[in-house]
């Protein structure tokens, strides 16, 4: 049984059933929530508690919400547990990341198809061999959104989610001469992983376990390959893609419901309605 605050609100996110839409955008940064909502038709702030800030409104007529998760996998776990308990079924992380492959530049966007589980939090729920994969419908909707919006500098592939920003991502530290992760980035580069960040694997693992849908679109702020860092680079494009993906998913969900189909498939989208 989950602990709740007064009025049936979830303990950490301070939201009750009906406060959040079924489609939820999840940035890490609380300041990114109003940025996301600035593209909506209507928006209102629902709650602010600790790192969890939430807005609810509409985007192109579709009910949507945004809830910040804060930094790290443990905070993402709280967001998924509590938001799903009050009716959210689709999560899209709208985050930032560091690229580790050549050809991915600051300001680009990465759509994560799956994630390497170096987060440790997801291992509290299931064996490490269990995959952390995006829901295929959300993944396709994010790609479709980027194409619809004419945003071409996006990449699709594997991300790695770590439990720590410093030693956990192989960053040198004078205070940590015994760090065991210094060879992490070269290993991930050889494994064709595109980037490192701190929340996606937790989101994907929990969403799969709970029977929910999840995806992630990540703005590239820095490149481990070149050493370049540009805070905020690509953020607006990531936000636009995430918002548009919600609209696309809603339309696809309506098609599935009307056709009485459980799964989305290409010919369903091209079939003309009678």
Mean pLDDT of 44-72: 98
- Percent of the chain residues past pLDDT 90, beyond the cut: 86
Residue 265 within any structural domain of the chain = no
Q: Give residue 27's pLDDT.
A: 98
Residue 171 within any structural domain of the chain = no
For 33, the token pair is 């929530």
Mean pLDDT of 176-200: 87
Least confident range from 19-23, 29-33, 72-76, 267-271: namely 267-271
Q: How crowded is the C-beta side of 180, counted as CA atoms within 13 Å?
A: 0
Mean pLDDT of 214-241: 95
For 111, the token pair is 């759509």
Q: Give residue 177's pLDDT.
A: 65
Backbone angles phi, psi at 57, to 5 degrees: -175, -150
Q: Give residue 118's pLDDT.
A: 97
Residue 41, pLDDT > 60, answer: yes
- The CATH number linked to 247 is 3.40.50.1580
Greatest C-alpha distance within the chain? 67
Residue 78 within any structural domain of the chain = yes
Q: How crowded is the C-beta side of 107, counted as CA atoms within 13 Å?
A: 4
Residue 225 within any structural domain of the chain = yes
Residue 75, pLDDT > 60, answer: yes
Number of domains, the chain: 1
Mean pLDDT of 242-255: 98
Of 129, 234, 118, 108, the residue nearest 184 (C-alpha)? 118
For tokens 């909707």, the residue is 141
Domain that holds residue 94: 6-160+194-252
Residue 173, pLDDT > 70, answer: no
Q: Give residue 5's pLDDT.
A: 53
Q: Give residue 273's pLDDT.
A: 66
- All residues at 6 or more sequence positions from 176 whose CB lies less than 8 Å from its CB, including other chains: 166, 167
Residue 43, pLDDT > 70, answer: yes
Mean pLDDT of 83-91: 98
Mean pLDDT of 246-251: 98
Residue 3, pLDDT > 60, answer: no
Residue 151 within any structural domain of the chain = yes
Residue 243 within any structural domain of the chain = yes
Backbone angles phi, psi at 159, to 5 degrees: -115, 165
**End-to-end alpha-carbon separation of the chain, Å?**
46
Q: Assign 168 a pLDDT band (cuts: 50, 70, 90).
A: confident
Mean pLDDT of 208-237: 96
Backbone angles phi, psi at 75, to 5 degrees: -70, -40
Q: Give residue 1's pLDDT.
A: 34
Residue 168 within any structural domain of the chain = no
For 84, the token pair is 């799903």
Cα separation, 155 vs 234, in Å, equals 12
3-state SS record for the chain: CCCECHHHCECCCCCCCCCCCCEEEEECCCCHHHHHHCCCCEEEEEEEECCEEEEEEEECCEEEEEECCCCCHHHHHHHHHHHHHCCCCEEEEEEEEEECCCCCCCCCEEEEEEEEEECCCHHHCCCCCCCEECCHHHHHHHHHHHHHCCCCCEEEEEEEEECCCCHHHCCCCCCCCCCCCCCHHHHHHHCCCCEEECCHHHHHHHHHHHCCEEEEEEEEEEECCCCCECCCCCHHHHHHHHHHHHHHHHHHHHHHHHHCCCCCCHHHHHCCCC
Residue 268 within any structural domain of the chain = no
């Amino acid at each position: 049984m989950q602990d709740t605050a007064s009025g049936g609100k979830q303990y950490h996110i301070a939201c009750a059933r009906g406060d959040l839409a079924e489609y939820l955008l999840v940035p890490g940064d609380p300041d990114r929530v109003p940025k996301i909502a600035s593209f909506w038709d209507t928006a209102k702030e629902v709650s602010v508690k600790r790192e969890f800030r939430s807005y609810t409104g509409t985007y192109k007529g579709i009910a949507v919400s945004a809830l910040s998760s804060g930094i790290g996998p443990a905070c993402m776990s709280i967001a998924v547990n509590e938001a799903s308990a009050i009716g959210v079924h689709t999560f899209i992380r709208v985050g930032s990341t560091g690229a580790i492959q050549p050809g991915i530049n600051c300001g680009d966007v990465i759509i994560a198809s799956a994630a390497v589980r170096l987060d440790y939090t997801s291992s509290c729920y299931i064996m490490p061999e269990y995959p952390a994969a995006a829901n295929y419908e959300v993944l396709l909707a994010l790609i479709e959104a980027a194409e619809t919006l004419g945003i071409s500098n996006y990449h699709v592939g594997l991300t790695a989610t770590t439990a720590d920003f410093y030693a956990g991502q192989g960053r040198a530290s004078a205070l940590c001469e015994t760090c065991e992760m210094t060879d992490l980035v070269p290993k991930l580069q050889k494994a064709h992983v595109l980037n490192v960040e701190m929340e996606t694997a937790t989101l994907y693992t929990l969403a799969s376990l709970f029977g929910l849908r999840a995806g992630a679109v990540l703005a590239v702020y820095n490149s481990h390959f070149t050493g370049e860092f540009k805070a905020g680079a690509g953020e607006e494009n990531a936000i636009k893609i995430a918002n548009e993906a919600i609209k696309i998913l809603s339309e696809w969900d309506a098609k599935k419901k009307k056709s009485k189909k459980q799964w989305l498939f290409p010919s369903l989208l091209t079939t003309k309605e009678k």
